[in-house]
Chain A
Amino acid sequence: AQKVTQAQTEISVVEKEDVTLDCVYETRDTTYYLFWYKQPPSGELVFLIRRNSFDEQNEISGRYSWNFQKSTSSFNFTITASQVVDSAVYFCALSVLGEETSGSRLTFGEGTQLTVNP
């Protein structure tokens, strides 16, 4: 069975601080995909990034960066120079190749509530 753990339930920072959201995953499959989604106060789920298990290169997109480390089964997300608009719940999720019978469901972590204060 798959599992995603986001140990940080809530994080509060002041604007312009850097913040890292942790994600640890568990799977026995060698082929899998990791995702981050953002859920702002309005409630929708916004896709941020997708990464497959064979690509360990870190990725940067503007103020966002992701650090994927298979050795520690982690896929952490860093926001640089945080802004008030970054306030949201952030979910890490996992999808595995072997789950034919489950239709490739996303296994979600419980989310991290990030609050960026002005």
Chain B
Amino acid sequence: NAGVTQTPKFRILKIGQSMTLQCTQDMNHNYMYWYRQDPGMGLKLIYYSVGAGITDKGEVPNGYNVSRSTTEDFPLRLELAAPSQTSVYFCASSLYRVGETQYFGPGTRLLVL
């Protein structure tokens, strides 16, 4: 099992550009999450999904969009990149919801200039 995989590992964007961060899990987990980690800080939840076709906002959703057409994939879309979105983005998944361990991907480092 690969677990949770994320692509790309690193990306530089110009202000106003768009991109999609990819996330795939092969553990047949129902729940998937996107977090961002700013320097020296803990992680904050951007969006989450409880299953294919169902998504909802987390703590810091502004400037992002998500979709979940399959159990395995949960892409995160940045429409108009801003310097404030410079961060490390982590995708995670868990089998069920509360209390289940969330397993994290390796992260995507994004720099917006």
Which residue numbers of A lie inside 8 Å of B, CB to CB?
Answer: 4, 31, 33, 35, 37, 43-45, 47, 50, 52, 91, 93, 95-97, 99, 101-106, 108-111
B45, A102: Cβ atoms under 8 Å? yes
Q: Inter-chain contact count A-B, CB under 8 Å?
A: 74
Complex CA gap A91/B42 in Å reads 7
Complex CA gap A111/B43 in Å reads 10
Residues of the B chain whose Cβ atoms lie less than 8 Å from the Cβ of A101: 56
B101, A103: Cβ atoms under 8 Å? no
User: Chain B 80-113 against A: per-residue CB contact (8 Å), 1 yes, 0 no?
Assistant: 0000000010101010011111111111010000
Known: A103-B33, A109-B42, A110-B42. 7 other contacts (CB 8 A): A47-B101, A96-B98, A103-B49, A104-B94, A105-B45, A110-B41, A111-B41
- 17 inter-chain pairs at a CB distance below 8 angstroms, sorted by A residue, are A35-B101, A43-B88, A44-B104, A45-B92, A47-B101, A47-B103, A52-B99, A91-B42, A95-B99, A97-B98, A97-B99, A102-B45, A102-B59, A104-B98, A106-B35, A106-B43, A111-B42
Complex CA gap A99/B106 in Å reads 26
Whether, in the assembled complex, B75 has its beta carbon less than 8 Å from a beta carbon of chain A, the answer is no
Residues of the B chain whose Cβ atoms lie less than 8 Å from the Cβ of A106: 35, 43, 45, 102
Complex CA gap A28/B12 in Å reads 41
User: Chain B 47-68 against A: per-residue CB contact (8 Å), 1 yes, 0 no?
Assistant: 0111000001011000000000
Say which residue of B59, B97, B104, B109 sits within 8 Å of A104 (CB atoms): B97
A95, B106: Cβ atoms under 8 Å? no
A103, B107: Cβ atoms under 8 Å? no
Whether, in the assembled complex, B31 has its beta carbon less than 8 Å from a beta carbon of chain A, the answer is yes
Interface residues of B in 9-55 (CB under 8 A from A): 31, 33, 35, 40-45, 48-50
Complex CA gap A4/B98 in Å reads 17
Complex CA gap A91/B41 in Å reads 10
A43, B48: Cβ atoms under 8 Å? no
Say which residue of A43, A44, A104, A108 sits within 8 Å of B42 (CB atoms): A108
The smallest C-beta distance from B106 to any residue of chain A, in angstroms, reads: 5
